[in-house]
Amino acid sequence: MTGADILPDAYESNGLLALGSAGANVFTGTPDGPINITVEIHTSAPPLALDGWEDVVEVSQWTDSGNVGVVPPFTVADPTIPALEISPESWYRVRVHAQGRDAGNAHVTGPAEAVEEHLVQMWPAAQAPEQVHRMTSEYGLMMRETH
């Protein structure tokens, strides 16, 4: 992700997510290439599962519209990816899990097959402080220190 891809008012201190008024960016280690992503929509906070994940961050995000989804970079929304539909002008939580960002970042042009995996979980919830549940990848620690 280049500086031009980051939301102008994004806050990037946690090493995995950059939050801005228009949404959130997830920092992938893979510079150019496939990653595996799973999106889950919940009615309340799902149990926290850390096993198998290198980086796990949870944040609150505001929505004006009430429609919240995941859009891959350089494309439009994929209707097969689940979306969260909540009341307009409300808060929701986003928990992002990542593994393989170091392996993805080791490929200058991107791997031919995905070496990186993400799980994005979203649910309606009141605003709450950011939680960095786990940050063990070198890439995540570097992003946390430099942004």
What residues does each domain of the chain span? 3-146
Does the pLDDT value for residue 76 go beyond 70?
no
Q: pLDDT at position 59, please?
A: 92
Q: pLDDT at position 2, please?
A: 33
Lowest-pLDDT choice from 42-46, 73-77, 89-93: 73-77
Closest CA to 59 of 113, 116, 127: 127
- Spatial CB neighbours of 67, under 8 Å, sequence gap ≥ 6: 83, 84, 85
pLDDT band at 84 (very low <50, low <70, confident <90, very high): confident
Is this model's pTM higher than 0.75 or not?
yes
CB-based contact 134:51 (threshold 8 Å): no
